[in-house]
Structure formats: C-alpha cells, structure tokens
Amino acid sequence: MTSYIQTKLEAFKKERENRGRLLISCPDQPGIVAAVSNFLFHYKANIIESSQYSTNPEGGTFFIRIEFECPSLNTLQDELKEEFQPLADQFSMAWTLTCVSELKKLALFVSKEPHCLREILWEWQSGDLMAEIALVVSNHEEARDIVEDLGIPFYYIPASKENRADVEHQQIQLLKEFEVDVIILARYMQILTSTFVSEFPHQIINIHHSFLPAFVGARPYHRAYQRGVKLIGATSHYVTDDLDEGPIIEQDIMRVDHRDHVEDLKKIGRNIERSVLARAVKWHLEDRIIVHDNKTIVF
C-alpha cells in the first residue's frame, strides 16, 4: 500500500513541477492585477486559475490567489521570489509563493475516536489529498495499527491536564524535527495552551462538533439534544488562543429530529465531522485560504 501511495505522490510532483501559487494581501488600488500579471508574463508563466476579493474597492484590503504554470519553476523559484520583492514593496503586499511539487508535511493529532483520522488517511490513500503525512500523535493507543500499516510513524503521548506543559514540549520537538507545516486536530480532545498555538499560527486546523458559534465548548451533542435543534453540524477552523473562536474554514449540517437521541446525534455527526474536516484540509493544502480579521477567505 505504502509504495503505491508513494508512486502516486511522485507522479503528482512530476506532473506539477512547474506549477506555482501566489497568494497576496495588500491595500486595494488600481494596477495591482496589471503589475502582477506583467511580472508573471515576463517569466512566460500561464495563469491557470485566479481568484480575487476586495473587502471594499475604495480603500479596503485586496486579496488574490493565482495558480500558474511557469517553465523551469524549480530552478527559477529563488530568482522569482527575489525579483518579486520590489513589486511587493511598491504595493505593500504580504505574499507567499509556493511550488506545488513541494508537498506540505502534515501531522495528525487524534484521541480515541478514529473517524476523522480514517477519513483523512482514506483520502490520502485514494490520491485525493496531496501531502506527506509526517506523523500521527495520539494520547491513546487505539489508532496505532491503522497508522503503522500505512508506514506512518505513530507517537503515543499520554496527555492530561496535569502534564500538559511536558507533553506539549515533547510534541513541539517532534513537529520541529519532522518539519511539519500543518497540524490537523482530527478529534484530539485535549486543549492546547497558547504556548503551543503561538508556535504554529494559522497552521493548526481543528474540527469542532457543532455549527459554531452554537455550542462552543464541551459536549455539543448533549447540548444540541437538550435544546431540541432540528439541525446538527460541524465546523472546521484554525486554532487560536480563544477556544472555538478561531477563523472558520468550513461548516456543514444534517437534519435530525425528535427521534434522535444523543447517541444518534453522535453517529450522524461523525459523518459531518469527517467530510467538513477533509474539505478544510484539502483547501489548506491547496493554499486556498487567507486569514483576515479572524475570518477566512476561501478561494
């Protein structure tokens, strides 16, 4: 299985070796698109996909995501970045240029319930999630087999309120060592301290089992049942210092009715959670998300 996935990933990297993505935020003004597209054209780049948004055409913030095909991108990328800087300065841009063939490195954090982990691994095995899965971290042993079967390192780190600082220290070490780009909390039921969160700004994606801002915090399905809602949902968001208050990436819901008890809500909810998280992760990996003002722009 493992070598099969590796073959798929290598084929993808080969096929996309000239594919780049440019993400830009800057004050809105006329001429931005002209300047950027001239720059790309100068390098014979063909724009494959482009999306833009402005909070307010008169004096707001402008955002653009451009996916392009540029001959010899691999060898040119340092030059491109260097040459782009003056233009970026001129328009006061915050920007990133990524090469699609340099796959992002993922860490998956999981607790006892495996459904979100499984969905991500499944997407990955099917070739629908182009990333390296660097490691899986869990405070339980349950998931070890399905992870190691895929040739992915599994780290069992028991975690509780008492040893939080030690545990996080150990986790951060691991994440640095594996040069992880993004951390997926696939129903990892531990709260992260601000120390941990500040190490990985807008790089930690959580799945919360309610349609936020309803049912912030613990036991959302119990509270949904108590309140008698007719819809339950799930929310994927970037983790910030405020619990369940980070920028929302994706949400979805399903219908429930009076016959559904808490256990039924959990079952139904698992299906929403896994698909919502999978979509959020995919968009992050494709550099489709810009965070602005505690909200996301998803291109």
Pairing of strands 105-110, 182-185: parallel
CA contacts within 13 A on the Cβ side of 211: 12
Residue 122 CB neighbour total at 10 angstroms: 13
Q: Which of residues 159-188 bind a copy of itself (CB under 8 A)?
A: none
Identify which of residues 4 and 165 has a Cβ nearer to a copy of itself in the complex: 4
Q: CA–CA separation, 98 vs 64, rounded Å?
A: 14
Kind plus residue range of the DSSP H or E element containing 281: helix 262-285
Does the footprint of a copy of itself cover residue 118 (CB under 8 A)?
Answer: yes
Q: Which of residues 119-148 bind a copy of itself (CB under 8 A)?
A: 122, 126, 128, 145
Smallest distance from the beta carbon of 162 to a copy of itself, in angstroms?
Answer: 30
Among 7, 10, 11, 57, binds a copy of itself (CB under 8 A): 57
Q: Assess contact for 119 and 91: CB atoms under 8 A.
A: no
Write phi, then psi, for 11 (nearest 5 degrees). Answer: -60, -40
Tell me which stretch binds a copy of itself (CB under 8 A): 5-13, 30-38, 74-82, 163-171: 30-38
Among 6, 46, 90, 194, binds a copy of itself (CB under 8 A): 46
Smallest distance from the beta carbon of 255 to a copy of itself, in angstroms?
Answer: 9
Catalytic residue (one of 28, 181, 244, 260): 244
> Residues 201, 244, 206, 258: what is their CA dihedral angle, to the nearest 10 degrees?
-170
Total chain residues near a copy of itself (CB under 8 A): 62
- Which has the closest alpha carbon to 139: 116, 176, 113? 113
Q: CA–CA separation, 231 vs 215, rounded Å?
A: 13
Smallest distance from the beta carbon of 117 to a copy of itself, in angstroms?
Answer: 12
Pairing of strands 132-138, 105-110: parallel
Does the footprint of a copy of itself cover residue 217 (CB under 8 A)?
Answer: no
DSSP code string of 179-245: T-SEEEESS--SPPPHHHHHHSTT-EEEEESS-TTTT-SS-HHHHHHHHT-SEEEEEEEE--SSTT-
- Is residue 244 flagged as an active site residue? yes
Does the footprint of a copy of itself cover residue 275 (CB under 8 A)?
Answer: yes
Q: Assess contact for 273 and 280: CB atoms under 8 A.
A: no
Tell me which stretch binds a copy of itself (CB under 8 A): 8-16, 34-42, 75-83, 156-164: 34-42
Identify which of residues 61 and 98 has a Cβ nearer to a copy of itself in the complex: 61
Does the footprint of a copy of itself cover residue 47 (CB under 8 A)?
Answer: yes
Smallest distance from the beta carbon of 120 to a copy of itself, in angstroms?
Answer: 14
Among 13, 26, 53, 87, binds a copy of itself (CB under 8 A): 53
Specify the residue for token string 């008492």. 162
Identify which of residues 47 and 172 has a Cβ nearer to a copy of itself in the complex: 47
- Rg of the chain (C-alpha set): 21
| Residues with Cβ within 8 Å of residue 242, at least 6 apart in sequence | none
Tell me which stretch binds a copy of itself (CB under 8 A): 48-56, 78-86, 152-160, 191-199: 48-56
Q: Assess contact for 95 and 88: CB atoms under 8 A.
A: yes
- Active-site positions read 244
Give contact residues for a copy of itself (rule: CB under 8 A).
1, 28-34, 37-38, 40-41, 44-54, 57, 69, 115, 118, 122, 126, 128, 145, 211-215, 227-231, 233, 247-253, 257-259, 267, 270-271, 275, 293-298
